C-alpha cells in the first residue's frame, strides 16, 4: 500500500484540523510558494536502539499559517526568525505548535531528538535506517523538502528527491554526508539508509531504475530491475509519462510494502518471496502515477486503492486467463467481511490502514469494491474509452489532488456518455446488486425458439446494470448483454436453436451477492463472520491452540464440545480446534491422515452441513509451536479453503471449486452408449465375482427393481453360497426376529413375522416386493441383516434439528463418525427436504433432515462393516434406495472408510427415470422390466386410528362409494376388530390381514357398533373390489 495514505494520520489533536484541510478545493494546485522545509540529520546507531538528532528549518511564506505536530519527538529548541531579523522562542502545547499568519516571511528553526525504542515503524540501527512516520515535525500542508544527513561510512541513502543517487557532499563536510531536494510539494517525507549495494538499469532516455539491496540479497537485483523496467514501460503506454526522474526498489529490514514518490520500500523478507516481482512490485509502481503524482482528495473518498488494484493485481490475473476467478475471489472477500452492520459506501472509504476499526471490511470496500467498479466501468464504456479516460485523468491532475468527480468527468468525456447514475450508485450506496431469475420458459416466436425469463433485482432500489448472459445450445455458446434499471425486467432472447442452459453473469463482471452454489467455503468467511464459534474437543486443548485463539481476537465465542448444542452448530460459523473431536467427527467423519512433515498445522474450510450459508473450519496441529508459527500468517491466506503449514512455511493452499455465475439448466442431454458394448447378465455377474459388497439400488415401488435384486442374489449365491443380504427395510433392532424367521427353522409363520418385525410400521411398502427375496434367504439359510436405525430415532432427529434431544444411551449407540460433507450430499438432501416440506411430509428443518439422513446412511454402513468383520469370507448384497446406494455419497464410501474392501453398485435404469449422473451413481446398470404387482383389493372404507385407555383401534371414518362395504352393512363409526379371522387394532394389522387377497374375494369382517347406549359386535361379509382408475381426458 502507498505510504501517502498512512503518513497523514496525525495525533488526536491534529485530527481536529482535518476538516479544515479537506475543505480546500480538490483540484487546486499547490501554491507556487508553499513553503520550504530543510532537515539536517545525524544518527547514533546503538546496538540495542538508535537515536536521531535533527534540525528543521521551515520557510513560511507571508500570510500563511502553520501548524506542526511533534509525535513522539523530544523538542530541544525552537526559534522563530522574522524577515526583519527579530527572533523569538516558542513553546508548543500538547505536541502541537500553531502559528497564525503574519504579513512577512518567517523562518522557523526546531531542534529535536528521537529514540527508536519501541517504535513499530521506524528503524535506527547499525544494520539500517528507515524513517517512515512520525520522525520529524509534521506540517499541516504539502511542502518542498531538502534533507542533509550524515551517515556511517558504509551507508548510502534515499529519500524523495529530484535526482538519484543522492548528492554526496565534498569531503570538507562531515564524512559521508548526503543531500537531496524534492521540487514537488509533498505531504510527507521519508528517509532510508543502510549498507546497500546499488545496481541500475536504463528504462529509456533520461529514466533509470535502481535497486538498493543488502549484500545477502544482491542476486535478486537483476530480476527486480528487469521487472521494474517492464512495468515502467507498460504503464507509460497505458497511463502517460512517468512523473519522476528515477525509480528505486529499496530493501527494508522491517516487513513493509510501501509506494513512495520515486521509490518503493519492500521488506527484506518480502523481497525474497518469489511472487512479489509479478504482483506487488507492479502495484507499488502504479502508485507513482496514482496516489503520488495524482494525490487523493479525501473529501470525496479514496479512489486510488481500487484503481491501482485494477491496473495492477487484477490486470495481471486477467492476462493469465484468471480474470473471472480473480473477480470471484474479490467478491468473496467483500462478502466475507462486509455485512449490514459494517458496510460503508465507496465514497466513505478513505484509509487503507490495518490499524482502524473494521479495518478488513473497509479495505474490502476500498480495494475489492473499488477495483470491481473500474472493471465494470471498462466493460460498460469499452477498453479504448477507458484507456483514453485514464490518460486524460492523469494528464489533467498530475501534481494535483483529485477525487471521484474528476475521475467521472474524465471517463464520461472519453466515452461520450453520461455516467452520473453509474458513479452515484456505486459510490453512494452501501448495498450491492442481488439478482435472481424467475418464470423461465422456452417459447416460439417468428418460427424460432425464444428463451424467456424475468430478471429480478432483489435490492430495495434497483441498480442500473449491464448483465452478461451466456446461453448454451447444441451449436455452441452465445453471450448476450442485458441492460436493466428496473426491479423486474422481462427478457426474451431469440435463438437459432433450443437452449440447453444459460448462466447469468458467468464471469463475475460486477460486484453482487453470490448464490450459495457460487460462494466457496474459504477462510475469510470465518475471519469476517459476526458469529464465530470456536469449539475445543476438551479444555486441555486450549493451550495447544492458544496462539490461534489469541490471534482471532475478542469477537470469538469459545466452548468445549460438551457445551455446544445443535442450535449452536447450525447458527454459527464454526472453528473446530482439533478435527478429531467428537463434535467434528459427527459432521465430517474422521479427519484424514496427514503427512506431519508437510502439515504440522492444517486448516480445512467446509460448508457447514447444517446451514449452507455458514462455514465450518477443521484445524489440526501437532504441537503448540506449529500453531504459533502458523497462526501469525493465517490472516494473509483468507481466500483459501485448504491450508497446511510446516514450521510456519505454507506447504498447501487450495480454493474449493464453486460455480461461476447463476446457472440454470433447461435440458440435460441424455446419456447413452454403444449397443455392442453392453454386457449380458451373466457377464456382469462374472465381473462381480471378486466384489465383497454389492449394492442394488431400488425405487421402492418398482417391481422390476425388486425382481432384479432377486436375480442378482440368486446368481451371486451360485458363485459363493456364503452370502448375506443387508436390508434397509429392517432396523437392527429387528435382527432377532429376522434370524428366527430365516435361519432357525422355528415354526414362525409369515403373518407372525410381519407382526413381530413391525414391518408395516417401520417400512410400510407392499411386503410382496420383498417376499421372494426373504423366502430365498429362508430356503438357503442366508443371513438377512437389518441395517437401519429405528425410525422413531431418525424422526426425532429430523423434527428437533439434531441429536441433543436423544437420551444419552441412544446417543452413545449412534455411529460417532458421520460424514455430512461428501460431495453433493447436503445439496441433494436439501432438494429432497424442500419436496418433503412442500408435500407436508415433516416439520423439521434442513439441518435436522440432513443429520437424520446421515445417521440413516452411517448406521447402515456401520452394520455392513460390523457383519463382514465378524464373518470373514462372507459377501453381502445390500438392498437400499438408489440414493442410499450411490457410490459417491451413499453407503459405499462410508463402508470404505471403515473397512478396506471391494464394492460395486448396481441400479436398474428404467426409461422413465434415467439418472443423468450415472457415472457418479453406480458401477453397473441394467435395463430390466417386470409386470407390476396386482393391486391389493379394498373393503371400501376409510379408517382412522384412535386410542382409548392406551389401546389403539380402527374406526370407519368414511364409506367409499366405490366399494361394497355399504352394501354389506358397514357404517361410519363402526370399530373394526377382525378381518378374515385376523385381529386388527392398527393399520399394520390391516395390511397383514389383507395380504394375498384378490378382487372378488368375500371376506369376513367383525365390527363393534354402539347403539342405544350399548355396544354390539356384528359380523359382515364384504366382497373385495379394486377402486376404478381415473381416466385422463381425451
The mean per-residue pLDDT over the stretch 857-872 comes to 97
The domain spanning residue 960 has which CATH number? 2.30.42.10
Percentage of residues of the chain with pLDDT beyond 70:
94
Cα distance between residue 901 and residue 692, in whole Å: 7
Cα distance between residue 196 and residue 544, in whole Å: 42
Cα distance between residue 643 and residue 590, in whole Å: 18
In a domain, 405, yes or no: yes
Q: How far is CA 819 from CA 537, 576, 592, 608, 1024, in A?
A: 18, 15, 12, 12, 49
The domain spanning residue 618 has which CATH number? 3.30.379
Where is average pLDDT lowest: 703-707, 831-835, 838-842, 991-995?
A: 838-842
Q: Would you place residue 841 in the very low, low, confident or very high pLDDT band (cuts 50, 70, 90)?
A: low
pLDDT of residue 1: 36
- Separation of CA 519 from chain center: 5
The mean per-residue pLDDT over the stretch 226-243 comes to 97
611 and 739 both lie in a single domain:
no
Contact predicate 362/349, CB 8 Å: yes
732 and 843 both lie in a single domain:
yes
Where is average pLDDT lowest: 121-135, 779-793, 816-830, 1020-1034?
A: 1020-1034
840 pLDDT higher than 80: no
390 pLDDT higher than 80: yes
Percentage of residues of the chain with pLDDT beyond 90:
83
In the block, cell 518542498 appears at 144
736 pLDDT higher than 80: yes
990 and 848 both lie in a single domain:
no
Closest CA to 663 of 486, 433, 500, 496: 500
pLDDT of residue 156: 96
573 pLDDT higher than 70: yes
pLDDT of residue 47: 67
The domain spanning residue 118 has which CATH number? 2.60.40.1730
3-state secondary structure of 566: helix
pLDDT of residue 103: 93
395 and 459 both lie in a single domain:
no
- The widest CA-to-CA distance across the chain, in whole angstroms, is 133
Q: What DSSP state is assigned to residue 513?
A: P
633 pLDDT higher than 60: yes
Q: What DSSP state is assigned to residue 468?
A: E
Predicted confidence (pLDDT) per residue in 166-175, tens digit: 999 986 656 7
359 pLDDT higher than 50: yes
| Distant-in-sequence, close-in-space partners of 391: CB < 8 Å, separation ≥ 6 | 238, 239, 240
957 and 916 both lie in a single domain:
no
Closest CA to 983 of 767, 751, 766: 751
Give the dihedral of Cα atoms 603, 605, 609, 610; nearest 10 deg. 90
In the block, cell 490471534 appears at 551
pLDDT of residue 3: 35
In the block, cell 431418525 appears at 794
Contact predicate 785/876, CB 8 Å: yes
Q: How far is CA 933 from CA 566, 586, 701, 765, 1003, in A?
A: 44, 41, 9, 12, 21
- Separation of CA 229 from chain center: 38
676 pLDDT higher than 80: yes
In a domain, 508, yes or no: yes
pLDDT of residue 315: 97
The domain spanning residue 484 has which CATH number? 2.60.40
pLDDT of residue 914: 63
Q: Would you place residue 505 in the very low, low, confident or very high pLDDT band (cuts 50, 70, 90)?
A: very high
1032: left (phi over 0), alpha (psi -120 to 50) or beta: beta
Locate 779 and state its grid cell: 430356503
Locate 58 and state its grid cell: 521551515
Q: What DSSP state is assigned to residue 531?
A: S
Cα distance between residue 339 and residue 336, in whole Å: 8
Predicted confidence (pLDDT) per residue in 804-830, tens digit: 999 999 999 999 999 999 999 998 898
Cα distance between residue 581 and residue 536, in whole Å: 8
483 pLDDT higher than 70: yes
508 and 552 both lie in a single domain:
no
pLDDT of residue 8: 27
Locate 331 and state its grid cell: 467478491
Locate 108 and state its grid cell: 522557523
15 pLDDT higher than 80: no
Task: Count how many Cα atoms sit within 13 Å of the Cα of residue 859 in the half-sphere of its side chain.
Answer: 28
In a domain, 411, yes or no: yes
Q: Would you place residue 1013 in the very low, low, confident or very high pLDDT band (cuts 50, 70, 90)?
A: confident
Where is average pLDDT lowest: 508-512, 595-599, 754-758, 852-856?
A: 595-599
Per DSSP, helices labelled H in 382-469 are 383-397, 404-415, 420-428
The domain tally of the chain equals 6
Instruction: Return the beta strands (E) in 287-332 as ranges.
Output: 295-296
pLDDT of residue 10: 26
511 and 449 both lie in a single domain:
yes
- Separation of CA 490 from chain center: 31
In a domain, 67, yes or no: yes
In the block, cell 528543521 appears at 56
In the block, cell 540501527 appears at 125
In a domain, 206, yes or no: no
Q: What is the mean pLDDT of the chain?
A: 91
Closest CA to 566 of 826, 838, 796: 796
pLDDT of residue 592: 84
72: left (phi over 0), alpha (psi -120 to 50) or beta: left
What DSSP assignment string belongs to 882-913? TTTT-TTTSHHHHHHHH----EEEEEE--GGG
Predicted confidence (pLDDT) per residue in 77-136, tens digit: 999 999 888 999 887 667 899 999 999 999 999 999 998 876 778 999 999 999 999 999
Domain boundary among 926, 955, 972: 926
Cα distance between residue 4 and residue 295, in whole Å: 8
| Distant-in-sequence, close-in-space partners of 97: CB < 8 Å, separation ≥ 6 | 67, 68, 70, 78, 90, 137
919 and 949 both lie in a single domain:
no
Domain range holding 115? 1-22+33-194
Rg from Cα positions in the chain: 39
b/e burial code for range 162-188 (CB count within 10 A of at least 16 → b): eebbbeeeeeeeeebbbbbbbebbbbb
The mean per-residue pLDDT over the stretch 341-351 comes to 95
Contact predicate 801/844, CB 8 Å: yes
487 and 390 both lie in a single domain:
no
The domain spanning residue 889 has which CATH number? 3.40.50.11550
2 pLDDT higher than 70: no
Cα distance between residue 865 and residue 869, in whole Å: 6
pLDDT of residue 16: 25
In a domain, 551, yes or no: yes
Where is average pLDDT lowest: 4-13, 401-410, 966-975?
A: 4-13
Cα distance between residue 182 and residue 147, in whole Å: 9
917 and 949 both lie in a single domain:
no
Q: Say if strands 642-646 and 693-698 run parallel, antiparallel, or are unpaired.
A: unpaired
Where is average pLDDT lowest: 276-280, 373-377, 590-594, 846-850?
A: 590-594
Most confident of 23-32, 439-448, 675-684, 1007-1016: 439-448
The mean per-residue pLDDT over the stretch 689-698 comes to 96
Domain boundary among 428, 455, 488: 428
Q: How far is CA 330 from CA 146, 334, 363, in A?
A: 41, 6, 11
Contact predicate 603/619, CB 8 Å: yes
639 and 549 both lie in a single domain:
yes
pLDDT of residue 48: 61
6 pLDDT higher than 70: no
SS (H, E, C) 320-348: CCCHHHHHHHHHHHHHHHCCCCCCCCHHH
973: left (phi over 0), alpha (psi -120 to 50) or beta: left
Where is average pLDDT lowest: 78-92, 132-146, 894-908?
A: 78-92
pLDDT of residue 28: 35
pLDDT of residue 919: 87
The mean per-residue pLDDT over the stretch 942-949 comes to 94
Domain boundary among 478, 493, 517: 517
In a domain, 8, yes or no: yes
911 and 953 both lie in a single domain:
no
32 pLDDT higher than 50: no
In a domain, 272, yes or no: no
b/e burial code for range 408-417 (CB count within 10 A of at least 16 → b): bbbbbbbbee
Amino acid at each position: 500500500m502507498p505510504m501517502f495514505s498512512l503518513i497523514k494520520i496525525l495525533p488526536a489533536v491534529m485530527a481536529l484540523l482535518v476538516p479544515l484541510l479537506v475543505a480546500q478545493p480538490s483540484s487546486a494546485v499547490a501554491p507556487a510558494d508553499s513553503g520550504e522545509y530543510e532537515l539536517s540529520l545525524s544518527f547514533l546507531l546503538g546496538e540495542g536502539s538508535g537515536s536521531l538528532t535533527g534540525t528543521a528549518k521551515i520557510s513560511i511564506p507571508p500570510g500563511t499559517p502553520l501548524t506542526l505536530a511533534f509525535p513522539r519527538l523530544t523538542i530541544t529548541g525552537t526559534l522563530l526568525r522574522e524577515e526583519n531579523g527579530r527572533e523569538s522562542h516558542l513553546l508548543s502545547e500538547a505536541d502541537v505548535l500553531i502559528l497564525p499568519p503574519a504579513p512577512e516571511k518567517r523562518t522557523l528553526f526546531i531542534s529535536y531528538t528521537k529514540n527508536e525504542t519501541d517504535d513499530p515503524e521506524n528503524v535506527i540501527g547499525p544494520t539500517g535506517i528507515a524513517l517512515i512516520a512520525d520522525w520529524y515535525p509534521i506540517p499541516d500542508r504539502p511542502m518542498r523538502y531538502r534533507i542533509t544527513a550524515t551517515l556511517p561510512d558504509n551507508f548510502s541513502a534515499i529519500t524523495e528527491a529530484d535526482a538519484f543517487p543522492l548528492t554526496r557532499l565534498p569531503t570538507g563536510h562531515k564524512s559521508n554526508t548526503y543531500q537531496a531536494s524534492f521540487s514537488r510539494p509533498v505531504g510527507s517525507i521519508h528517509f532510508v539508509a543502510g549498507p546497500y549495494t546499488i545496481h541500475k538499469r536504463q528504462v529509456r532516455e533520461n529514466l533509470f531504475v535502481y535497486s538498493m539491496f543488502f549484500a545477502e540479497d544482491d542476486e535478486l537485483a537483476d530480476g527486480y530491475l528487469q521487472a521494474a523496467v517492464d512495468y515502467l514501460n507498460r504503464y507509460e503506454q497505458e497511463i502517460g509519462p512517468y512523473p519522476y526522474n528515477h525509480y528505486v526498489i529499496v530493501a527494508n529490514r522491517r516487513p513493509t510494502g510501501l509506494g513512495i514518490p520515486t521509490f518503493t520500500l519492500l521488506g527484506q523478507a518480502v523481497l525474497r518471496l518469489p511472487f512479489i516481482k509479478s504482483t506487488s512490485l507492479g502495484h507499488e509502481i502504479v502508485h507513482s502515477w496514482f496516489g503520488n503524482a495524482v494525490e487523493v482528495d479525501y473529501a470525496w473518498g479514496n479512489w486510488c486503492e481500487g484503481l491501482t488494484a485494477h491496473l495492477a493485481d487484477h490486470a495481471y490475473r486477467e492476462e493469465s486467463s484468471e480474470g473471472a476467478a480473480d473477480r470471484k475471489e474479490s467478491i468473496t472477500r467483500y462478502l466475507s467481511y462486509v455485512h449490514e452492520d459494517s458496510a460503508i459506501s465507496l465514497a466513505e472509504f478513505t484509509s487503507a490502514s490495518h490499524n482502524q476499526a473494521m479495518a478488513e471490511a473497509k479495505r474490502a470496500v476500498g480495494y475489492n469494491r473499488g477495483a470491481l467498479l473500474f472493471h465494470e466501468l471498462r466493460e460498460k464504456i469499452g477498453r479504448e474509452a477507458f484507456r483514453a479516460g485514464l490518460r486524460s485523468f492523469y494528464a489533467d491532475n498530475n501534481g494535483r489532488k483529485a477525487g471521484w468527480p474528476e475521475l467521472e468527468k474524465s471517463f464520461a468525456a472519453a466515452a461520450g456518455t453520461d455516467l452520473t447514475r453509474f458513479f452515484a450508485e456505486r459510490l453512494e450506496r452501501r448495498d450491492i446488486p442481488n439478482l435472481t431469475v424467475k418464470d423461465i420458459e422456452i417459447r416460439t416466436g417468428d418460427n424460432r425458439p425464444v428463451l424467456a425469463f424475468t430478471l429480478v433485482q432483489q435490492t430495495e432500489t434497483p441498480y442500473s446494470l449491464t448483465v452478461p448472459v451466456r446461453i448454451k445450445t447444441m451449436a455452441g455458446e452465445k453471450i448476450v448483454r442485458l441492460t436493466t434499471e428496473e426491479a423486474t425486467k422481462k427478457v426474451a432472447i431469440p435463438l437459432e436453436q433450443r437452449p440447453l442452459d444459460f448462466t447469468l453473469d458467468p464471469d463475475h463482471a460486477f460486484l453482487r451477492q453470490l448464490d450459495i452454489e457460487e460462494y466457496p467455503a474459504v477462510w475469510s468467511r470465518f475471519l469476517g463472520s459476526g458469529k464465530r464459534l470456536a469449539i475445543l474437543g476438551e479444555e486441555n486443548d486450549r493451550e495447544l491452540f492458544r496462539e490461534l485463539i489469541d490471534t482471532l481476537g475478542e469477537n470469538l465465542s469459545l466452548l468445549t464440545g460438551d457445551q455446544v448444542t445443535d442450535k449452536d452448530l447450525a447458527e454459527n460459523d464454526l472453528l473446530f480446534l482439533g478435527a478429531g473431536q467428537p463434535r467434528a467427527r459427527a459432521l465430517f467423519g474422521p479427519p484424514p491422515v496427514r503427512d506431519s512433515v508437510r502439515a504440522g498445522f492444517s486448516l480445512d474450510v467446509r460448508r457447514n452441513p447444517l446451514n449452507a450459508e455458514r462455514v465450518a473450519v477443521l484445524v489440526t496441529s501437532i504441537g503448540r509451536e506449529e500453531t504459533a508459527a502458523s497462526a501469525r500468517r493465517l490472516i494473509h491466506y483468507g481466500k483459501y479453503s485448504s491450508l497446511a503449514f510446516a514450521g510456519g512455511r505454507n506447504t498447501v493452499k487450495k480454493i474449493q471449486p464453486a460455480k461461476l455465475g447463476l446457472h440454470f439448466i433447461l435440458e440435460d442431454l441424455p446419456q447413452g452408449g454403444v449397443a455392442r458394448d453392453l454386457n449380458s447378465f451373466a457377464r456382469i455377474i462374472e465381473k462381480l465375482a471378486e466384489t465383497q459388497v454389492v449394492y442394488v439400488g431400488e425405487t421402492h415401488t418398482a417391481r422390476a427393481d425388486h425382481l432384479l435384486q432377486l436375480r442378482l442374489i440368486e446368481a451371486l449365491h451360485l458363485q459363493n453360497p456364503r452370502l448375506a443380504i443387508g436390508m434397509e427395510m429392517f432396523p437392527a433392532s429387528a435382527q432377532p426376529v429376522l434370524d428366527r424367521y430365516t435361519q432357525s427353522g422355528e415354526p414362525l409363520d409369515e403373518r407372525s413375522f410381519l407382526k413381530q418385525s413391525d414391518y408395516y410400521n417401520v417400512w410400510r411398502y407392499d411386503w410382496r416386493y420383498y417376499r421372494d427375496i426373504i423366502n430365498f434367504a429362508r430356503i438357503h439359510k442366508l443371513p438377512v441383516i437389518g441395517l437401519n436405525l429405528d425410525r422413531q430415532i431418525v424422526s426425532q432427529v429430523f423434527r428437533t434439528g439434531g441429536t441433543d434431544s436423544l437420551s444419552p444411551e441412544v446417543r452413545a449407540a449412534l455411529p460417532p463418525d458421520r460424514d455430512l460433507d461428501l460431495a453433493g450430499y447436503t445439496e441433494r438432501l436439501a432438494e429432497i427436504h424442500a419436496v418433503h416440506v412442500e408435500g407436508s411430509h415433516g416439520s423439521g428443518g434442513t439441518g435436522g433432515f440432513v443429520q437424520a439422513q446421515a445417521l440413516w446412511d452411517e448406521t447402515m454402513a456401520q452394520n455392513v462393516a460390523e457383519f463382514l468383520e465378524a464373518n470373514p469370507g462372507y459377501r453381502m448384497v445390500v438392498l437400499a434406495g438408489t440414493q442410499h446406494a450411490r457410490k459417491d455419497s451413499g453407503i459405499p464410501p462410508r463402508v470404505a472408510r471403515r473397512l478396506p474392501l471391494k464394492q460395486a453398485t448396481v441400479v436398474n435404469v428404467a426409461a422413465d427415470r434415467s439418472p443423468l449422473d450415472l457415472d457418479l451413481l453406480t458401477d453397473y446398470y441394467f435395463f430390466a422390466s417386470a409386470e407390476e404387482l396386482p393391486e391389493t383389493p379394498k373393503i371400501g372404507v376409510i379408517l382412522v386410528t384412535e386410542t382409548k385407555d392406551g389401546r389403539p383401534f380402527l374406526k370407519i371414518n368414511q364409506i367409499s362409494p366405490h366399494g361394497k362395504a355399504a352394501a354389506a352393512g358397514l357404517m361410519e363409526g363402526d370399530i373394526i376388530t377382525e378381518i378374515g379371522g385376523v385381529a386388527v387394532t392398527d393399520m399394520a394389522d390391516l395390511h397383514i390381514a389383507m395380504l394375498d387377497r384378490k378382487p372378488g374375494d368375500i371376506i369376513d369382517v367383525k365390527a363393534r357398533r354402539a347403539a342405544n347406549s350399548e355396544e354390539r359386535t356384528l359380523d359382515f361379509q364384504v366382497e373385495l373390489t379394486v377402486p376404478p382408475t381415473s381416466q385422463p381426458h381425451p
